[in-house]
Chain A
Amino acid sequence: NAGVTQTPKFRILKIGQSMTLQCTQDMNHNYMYWYRQDPGMGLKLIYYSVGAGITDKGEVPNGYNVSRSTTEDFPLRLELAAPSQTSVYFCASSYSPGGNYGYTFGSGTRLTVV
């Protein structure tokens, strides 16, 4: 049981480049989330999804896009990368809104934009 898998673990991007952060879960969870963690700060929600085909913005969505074509996958797309997007990105999933069942986090993707 792999849980939540994020790839890549590390990436360096040049300003203006684009990339997709991959997130896959094998627990059949309906709810999935993308968070970013800036240095020395807490986690902030970028986007979330309550099921396949349904996504919604979180607190800091600008500069990002997501899709949810399957229950398992929730990729995060960065278009025109900027230094402000240098951060650690965490994907998470939950069986329900996570209070009753908690959240499972991936190990994170450390992204540097130079």
Chain B
Amino acid sequence: AQKVTQAQTEISVVEKEDVTLDCVYETRDTTYYLFWYKQPPSGELVFLIRRNSFDEQNEISGRYSWNFQKSTSSFNFTITASQVVDSAVYFCALTNNNAGNMLTFGGGTRLMVKP
């Protein structure tokens, strides 16, 4: 069985602060894929990143960066110099790519960025 844990249910920061959202996963498979999605107040799910289990390189995209560590089964997400528009719920998710397999979501972290 797969499991994704986002221990931080809610984080509040002041604009321009850096913030890291934690994600810990469990899977027995050697091939799997990890995702981060953003859900703004409007409710849609916005894809941010996909990473496969064989690629442990960290990734940076503008103010966003991701740290994937297989040794600790973690896929953490950092926002640098946060902005009010970053306020949203962020979900980490996992799939093992088996036939018909679904995406397993964590419970989400609500990020509030105050001006």
Chain A residues near B (Cβ < 8 Å): 31, 33, 35, 40-45, 48, 50, 56, 58, 88, 90, 92, 96-100, 102-103, 105, 107-108, 110
Contact = CB atoms under 8 A, between A and B. Distances in A.
How many chain B residues sit at the interface, stated as a range, is 20 to 34
A102 B109 CA distance: 21
A43 B43 contact: no
A50 B103 contact: no
Contacts of B32: 99
Interface string B37-49: 0000001110100
Contacts of A50: 99-100
B95 A42 contact: no
Contacts of A100: 33, 97
Given A42-B91, A88-B43, A99 B33 contact: yes
Given A41-B108, A88-B43, A105-B45, A98 B100 contact: no
Contacts of A44: 105
Interface of B: 4, 6, 31-33, 35, 43-45, 47, 50, 52, 91, 95-108
Given A43-B91, A108-B44, A97 B100 contact: yes
Nearest to A31: B100
B102 A58 contact: yes
Nearest to A59: B102
Given A90-B45, A102-B47, A42 B106 contact: yes
B95 A99 contact: yes
Nearest to B101: A97
A102 B50 contact: yes
B108 A98 contact: no
